[in-house]
A and B are shown apart, each in its own frame.
Chain A
């Protein structure tokens, strides 16, 4: 099965997605959200980590559909 022709921009985006994930989930960025703050009764850091995670999944799903 030959893969359909893919635009260069999409391929670059696919390659850069994990880089973005690393930047968001590693110090120093993650330390910004480690503050002892609550948001709607939940700790900010929990919301942040799981939020970024869900964002990565959504982005990967979008890219997988179009790549």
Chain B
């Protein structure tokens, strides 16, 4: 009879440090976006300040939080310990300091940004090595395993392309600069983050909804379709054939839809009727992510070339799918981490709070509602070219990010 007496916890200081840094980066990115509202309005996404904010958002917040979450989730999901866990402080130090230097140099002196990139790459490579060895120890290769492994492979390619990009900036002599740039965005934003969120959703969605007896075979089709989509779209950046890109986006959307359908089945089979609001927000992000993928297919099939519209779609994808998913899950993960540190040793000895008592659910409803409205307002204002709307919506988003970060930090005082 299989038993489960395996130590499945990790040193929570490590994931928490990643997450706290990520929250600070999230707030700083929103402040920079607010400061550069006029550039956002004109669709000028490729200017130093916006690059800096985008990298703070994607690397400093999303990437760093994802790394921290992996140090916590991989042991519990795959029932294996992190290989040489203490080494995790090396990626923490390199990635966090590297992101600060990299984002700073992008804003001040893009040509020098490679120095920051080198430090970030060192941290991420160490993280990749640790995760690869940890995953090798996994006995049961589930659909989650496939998603997480492919996400890590995508991260590796993202870093490689990003490094080439930084080198290209430094030397100004790299051919295929645009192709490398789009491949970097595709593998990083679409490949790494989506596959990672897909993978962990197969654990977190049934766990938070207490779902049982659900099939996961749609996940196999979803991953195949999504990876094929990534390959097609990436190839299209190099050979410039429109229908290859359109097929790629269709495959990506099909993969995402299959994933959404699988999540819907899991949701339908849930036992917990009253779900936590933050978790509902993460489910909401899946729906929006799916819609954005379908819009991308339409854009590709009608041959839309407008960098402005693709830019806004990418921005919507980052905010509404990646950032919303992470913010929703984080609202559950941070209280869990802190509870483990503060109360795990006291369970059974004295009365300890439940996880629900660690968070402010009422505030979560307000925060997520206002965040959604501000993102919709921001996208609408950019499309309609309403300057005051962009400024106002980004201002609200900046305030929401501050209140969100503060509410997470407050959990650490409970």
A and B: real partners?
no
Q: Give A contacts to B, CB under 8 Å.
A: none
Q: Give B contacts to A, CB under 8 Å.
A: none
